[in-house]
A and B are shown apart, each in its own frame.
Chain A
Amino acid sequence: MFLNQFLLLAAVLFCIGVYGVLVRKNGVLVLMSIELILNAVNINLVAFSAFNQNIDGQVFALFIIAVAAAEVGVGLAIVLLIYRNRRSIDVAEANLLKG
């Protein structure tokens, strides 16, 4: 097996995730796309771990999984809060940063 087949798969997933983050309006869907991005990164880490015969990459992947769990928890809490305040989770409407 080539190293690149994993890395390219990860790259494709990453870009699809980026596309999702950029075009989706629903907050939950944006979070899902972020999960996709994180998973792509994880594939890279594990692939390099196997390539270098070094276990550190897997450990980092595990850490990322844990952090992702935290991120989803807080992210969904924020989405819920937005929904409660605005009756909508359209991220396009959350534009309080507008100058």
Chain B
Amino acid sequence: MFAAEEVSWLFRNVWLIPALPALSFVLILFFGKRLPFKGAEIGIASVVVAFSLAVLTTFAWIGNIQSAESHSEEAIFLEGPDGEQTPIVLTAEEAGEARGAPIITEVEWFSIGPDANKVILGTEGNSDAGHDEDGHSDDEDEDGHSDDEDAGHDDDEEEGAGFGGDDNVVDVAFAEDGGTVAEAHGDRFSISIGTLVDGQSVMMLFVVTFISLLVHVYSTDYVKGDRRFTHYFAFLSLFTSAMLFMVLSTSTMQLIVGWELVGVCSFALIGHWWEEKANSDAALKAFLTNRVGDIGLLIGMSILYFAAGRTFSIPRINELAVNGTIPKGTLTIAAVCLMAAVMSKSGQFILHTWLPDAMAGPTPVSALIHAATMVVAGVYMIGRLYPVFFIGFGIAGSSINLMAFIGGLTTVGGGALAFVQKDIKKVLAYSTVSQLGYMVLALGMGAYTAGMFHLFTHAFFKACLFLGAGSVSHACHHSFDMKADMGGLRKYMPKTFWTFMIGSGALAGIPPLAGFWSKDEILVGAGVWPNTGGNGTYYLPFVFGMITAAMTAAYMARTIWLTFFGEYRGHDEPHESGARITTPLIILAGMAVVVGFLNMPSGFVKFFGAPEGLAHRFEDWVEPAGVSTFVTSDNGFTHAKPSLSLAIVATLLALTAGGAVVAYYRALYAKDSKATEYTDGVMSRIPGLRAGHKFLEEKYYLDHLYTGAIAGGTKGPLARATDWFNQNVLDGIVNGVGKLSVGLGNFIYNIIDQKAIDGVVNGSGNSASGAGQFLRGMQTGQVRQYATLMFGATAVVAAIFIFAV
């Protein structure tokens, strides 16, 4: 569908996509306030162009894959069967390469070290260029330092002669084989910056630009009249740019830079209304919590840098991880460190606490940054360095590992907390935590494609839900309180209602909406259900996943009923939002319906008689081909076989849970159409509700439970024992002492307190006070006097050293 040169041009110049929003950021900063739309138009224009380029790139990539596929089809079938345990195997290296290896374009960012006058400007093409003297010829055009002064010198002087600007093209990162990279680099420290185009990054390019565009449009209405309107759009642009920069990174260093940049934008946007203390606190909390994880990121990346023989190149690290050059133990340590970064950025337990607070920012920001894009950076990073995690955690053939456990815990814990929120955005925030847990869970079970696919679908329906929540709050006079200010909005804002319903359905995994397909694929990936294959037998994560599938439906049903059904509980008449708000909602809801069909299982396609080519398209397009060596290694990763029975069971589970909640609210509204579950009168009359209330109370208790027991479990038995001791022994002692003192108070007061204790207390108090009075005299508060003492003492001590010692 594209000519070869056009495709190649697109892939080589994909840097334009992040560059445009960056340019827009600068332009908005300088000229935004003087423009008729206060800078919004620049932001939107840049994102429109970036989105168009991303779409072109996406199609070019798909075309690239499909043409490659038609060439190498027989290769896939020849290598395919690998026993019954691995039904669909991503096969040999050739097939993988042919299916579209990543396209890397990079330039030297900077390099440091004694050897620094050999500047690398490498692309993957010239891989035969040697590194040493032969690659480093004295060009005529090097004019940085070679004028008069060092005219007659021999070579070794030139080493010291500094930083001339010559640009020898020497490729190191991809040219050397095996372990020689370290020697080749010597002491030099070189960092390249560039773009890596493969299925995963193209997918993210599309998602980020698409949602960013819709959020830009939505924001023109939502933050209209805000005092920092221009500032807001500038940061949206900067965020878009930073996220795309991170997505396209070729080196871990670039990834870190992008990672921190999106963190800064997140900080600035959460604190957009910093006049309120709570908002700036939330921004700080997000920033500081992320710092905790970033330490892990830096350590993990440093380990990989040294373990891979001093290279930052992501493909190189992956390659070395796969072919066993980096020992498994090193990979494990690096993976654990990187998990800390994932836990903070992607809101995994126990570092998820910043994410719900981040809802203090404007709602479109929550949709873009804290639901669809930035928070999946951690998941994306796992995908980028998947071989490191896959081998480091020994995912293949296992039944539990750290990543799957954290993901599972997060998904259940986050889902449970979503029940007890009365702020609609908090519900969605905990839901995001839960869904991010799902993605990490999937990746932890080796279901790479399922995790990425869920990331993809989740971005659309969660952005839809957040923007819907924003629309609702826009109507209800900027309140997010479902219980106090909402209810019955179905009649007033039908567009918002229907799009919210579709988004919730997709989130809850109701077929045929998007979430159904991705969630089902994750559950299949656990390899527990009969005849599904998979990478291992992840019983516990599977159970977590099933529980969450049910819970998701239930809490979304609760949210919908509280918000849209019953009777309006707020003041004034609510109204449907304007076109600039509802249009993005409708587009996103449409996407939430259709994107799931991108990765239908082949059995499903056959059942409906659709062309076979429609099956698992997403998988073909996104799955990494560049790490094909990883696929063919001993413990390569496999695809699970889809299971109709599991899909039916999971769907029924979700429907039952959602139905139960609906029934509960219908009964409640039948009694009193303005009630919420906390109304005491209703509670006491209906026994079923009392049970429900108790249930909610138990959930409230969970907050305690997960900080105590689960955090304790992660931190080790000592913490758990301390916690147990605290909960049982200390509480017991405190309570016992309390009772005892009530009973014996008077007795003790009269006999002991008045005589013995008072004497001791007064005595010690008096002596402390006396000593304090004495010492106080020395504290004049005069810094000058302290300085005099310090310098004088220095002179005296120095004299002692000189004359006496």
Contact = CB atoms under 8 A, between A and B. Distances in A.
Asked if the two chains touch in their complex, CB atoms less than 8 Å apart, one says yes
Interface of A: 18, 21-23, 91-92, 94-99
A35 to B, nearest CB: 16
Interface string B760-782: 00000000000000011111111
B787 A95 contact: no
B788 A95 contact: no
B794 to A, nearest CB: 9
Given A18-B791, A22-B791, A99 B776 contact: yes
B685 interface: no
Most chain B C-beta atoms within 10 Å of own C-beta, residue among A21, A23, A91, A99: A99
Contact of A96 (B777, B781, B788): B781
Contact of A95 (B775, B778, B782, B791): B782
A99 B783 contact: no
Contact of B781 (A18, A22, A97): A97
B779 A99 contact: yes
Contact of A22 (B779, B780, B787): B787
19 contacts: A18-B791, A21-B787, A22-B791, A23-B784, A91-B783, A91-B784, A92-B784, A94-B781, A95-B781, A95-B782, A96-B781, A97-B783, A98-B779, A98-B781, A99-B775, A99-B776, A99-B779, A99-B780, A99-B781
A70 to B, nearest CB: 20
A18 B776 CA distance: 26
B464 to A, nearest CB: 48
A98 B775 CA distance: 11
A99 B784 CA distance: 15
A21 B595 CA distance: 72
Contacts of A23: 784
Nearest to A23: B784
In the A-B complex, the 7 residue pairs with the smallest Cβ-Cβ separation, listed nearest first, are: A98-B781, A99-B779, A95-B781, A99-B776, A97-B781, A22-B788, A18-B791
Contacts of B776: 99
Interface in B784-805: 784, 787-788, 791
B782 A92 contact: yes
A94 B783 CA distance: 8
A22 B784 contact: yes
Contacts of B787: 21-22
Nearest to A18: B791
A37 B116 CA distance: 37
Nearest to B780: A98
A35 B639 CA distance: 69
A95 B777 CA distance: 13
A17 B305 CA distance: 48
A22 B790 CA distance: 11
Given A22-B788, A22-B791, A99 B782 contact: no
B778 A99 contact: yes
B108 to A, nearest CB: 25
A98 B784 CA distance: 12
A21 B777 CA distance: 23
Interface string B252-272: 000000000000000000000
Contacts of A99: 775-781
A21 B781 CA distance: 16
A95 B776 CA distance: 13
A85 to B, nearest CB: 15
A92 B776 CA distance: 18
Between B775, B776, B778, B787, the greatest number of chain A beta carbons within 10 A of the residue's beta carbon is seen for B787
B434 to A, nearest CB: 46
A8 to B, nearest CB: 16
Given A21-B787, A96-B781, 14 more contacts: A18-B791, A21-B784, A22-B787, A22-B788, A23-B784, A91-B783, A92-B782, A92-B784, A95-B780, A95-B781, A98-B781, A99-B775, A99-B776, A99-B778
A18 B783 CA distance: 13
Contacts of A91: 783-784
A97 B779 CA distance: 7
Nearest to B794: A18
A96 to B, nearest CB: 6
Nearest to B791: A18
A42 B778 CA distance: 34
B776 to A, nearest CB: 4
Nearest to B775: A99
Contacts of A22: 784, 787-788, 791
